[in-house]
Amino acid sequence: MPNLFGMTREEIEAYFLSKGDKKYRAIQVYEWLYQKRVFDIDLFSNIKNEVREELKKDFDTSFIKIHQRQKDELTVKYLFHLEDHEAIEAVVMMHDYGVSICVSSQVGCNMGCRFCESGRLKKRRNLKAYEMVQQILLAEADLGMRISSVVIMGIGEPLDNFLEVTKFIKIINDAKGIAIGARHITLSTCGLVPKIYELAKFSIQINLAVSFHAPYDELRNKLMPVNKVYSIPVLIKAIADYLQVTSRRVTIEYVMLNNVNDSIECAKELAHLFKGMNIYVNLIPYNETNHLEFSRSSKTRIKEFYDTLKSEKINVTIRKEFGRNIDAACGQLRGREIK
């Protein structure tokens, strides 16, 4: 039985038409779920009782559960338990421009990036669209505030779960749904090149972020096994083609690992790769964990890296840190519970 929170409005329209009913019923359902935040079908008062009974028979409305939360001044991290007793995480961050949430797209991850806590625990399964939608709904209800932007950058590789992730995007972007604009939705990938080409043709032009983390193949092979399949030249071409198709700037994420990828030479090579492209580089101070051998670059080395990119005419920012005094790195809270 499909979960109602994983249905696009078009799918619900098709459902009602198949029942000989009117497609506008789908707007009524969406308004109850996402605008009025009423999740009990029995309370959909402007829908006939017999129709409500059919909905209850044909759709599940069960929720994932908040199992644990950690908070600091600007960050709330959630550990959710799923119906099959698996666990995922989401992080809410308070900005001066609004509230963002970083959601998970898979239970575990098979990409195996060496510095990433999520990849330590291999993928168990893909998340369904409703399990991603409910991360937002539960966080909003728990905090009593609306989320204004969504980043698909939690546990998992979103492009490895392409169909459910794009369905999730359609649901949250829908004006009758959670109504988060495309410019406020960002998908982060480690570089699944065929899916980047597919995403370029997706009907909703969201923001793309590519986890890069090394400027040459030998180092990126060591840090990110996906590079052995899709090398830097292949990935650069995919990014260039994505830019041409979408005309949307791409973010290049670069985690700063002490004495690994943070040299001036690395900065110059990175600048050479992206010279003249409509990208910006987001330097990320590494969030250290107890299980991995890497440490964060010093503030001095990060600033030198930043200054080198600037001098090479590369748009660059240093990501503001959130949740360093809680288990805010992707996979930390889940990993601790499983241990």
Q: Among residues 122, 130, 139, which one has the least CA distance to residue 83?
A: 130
State the Cα–Cα distance between residues 302 and 255, nearest whole angstrom.
Answer: 10
Catalytic residue chosen out of the listed positions 102, 116, 266, 330: 330
d(CA 116, CA 288): 9
What is the full DSSP assignment across 209-250?
Answer: EEE---SSHHHHHHH-GGGGTS-HHHHHHHHHHHHHHH---E
Residue 12, helix vs strand vs coil: helix
What b/e readout covers 268-305, taking b as 16+ CB neighbours within 10 angstroms? bebbebbeeeebebbbbbbbebeeeebebbeeebbebb
330 a catalytic residue: yes
Show Cβ contacts of residue 261 under 8 Å, excluding neighbours closer than 6 positions: 213, 214, 215, 219, 223, 254, 255
DSSP helix/strand/coil, 124: coil
Phi, psi dihedral angles at 172 (to 5 degrees): -80, -20
Q: Is 66 helix (H, G, I), strand (E, B) or coil?
A: strand
Task: Given the residues 13, 89, 131, 253, select the one marked as catalytic.
Answer: 89
* 153, two tokens: 């950058």
The answer to whether the CB of 87 falls within 8 A of the CB of 81 is: yes
C-alpha 2/C-alpha 297 separation (Å) is 46
Is 89 among the catalytic positions? yes
**Alpha carbons 56 and 58: distance in angstroms, whole number:** 6
How many C-beta atoms surround the C-beta of residue 265 within 10 A?
10
Smallest CA-to-CA distance from 201 within 149, 252, 238 is with: 238
H-only helix segments in the chain? 9-18, 25-30, 49-58, 129-143, 162-173, 193-200, 217-223, 232-246, 264-274, 299-311, 332-338
Give the catalytic positions in this structure.
89, 330
